[in-house]
Structure 1
Amino acid sequence: MASDMDSNTAGVQYNRWNEDNINLNVAGTGVTGLYNRFCTGTLGIAIKVAGALAALVVVYVIGYVTGYYVHKC
């Protein structure tokens, strides 16, 4: 009888902590939600393209200003 009761409690304990029963649905909260919203899909691609263009413009302006002052005299 004691071994039968131990196996039942062990089975309950296993089912309680079984990783299949854990709900990890946190897609809309915190950093994960922000990442999913702004870094994936069509919006993510648009943000990456806009960031790349902005970086190119900044590098171009820095090069232009630097070249202007280097070749000024």
Structure 2
Amino acid sequence: MQSNESSVHYSRWDDSSRDEVSMGTMSGTEETSCYRRISQKLCTGKLGIAMKVLGGVAFFWITYILGYVTGYYVHKCK
């Protein structure tokens, strides 16, 4: 797994007969935003799996509680 990302910049000018292609590498601390680092940390590896499982369990219980409350008020006897 590479720690640096490669970038290719291609520019073509109408008045020039040559095409310009420049290649470079971006270091992780320069171009990587804070959100991307947090996302990579929380969504990959063992921590990512644990976050997905906890998110699924939380989603299940929220849906269950909303359904229970909705069903209670819909089927409530007068």
TM-score by length of 2: 0.59
Consecutive aligned runs of 4 or more in structure 1 exceeding 4 Å deviation: none
Structure number with the higher strand fraction is 2
Unaligned runs of 5+ in 2: 1-20
Structure showing greater radius of gyration is 1
TM superposition shift of 1:31: 2.0
Which whole-Å CA distance do the structure 2 matches of 1:34 and 1:58 have between them? 25
Unaligned runs of 5+ in 1: 1-16
Aligned length: 56
TM superposition shift of 1:36: 1.2
- Which residue in 2 is equivalent to 1:23? 25
TM-score by length of 1: 0.63
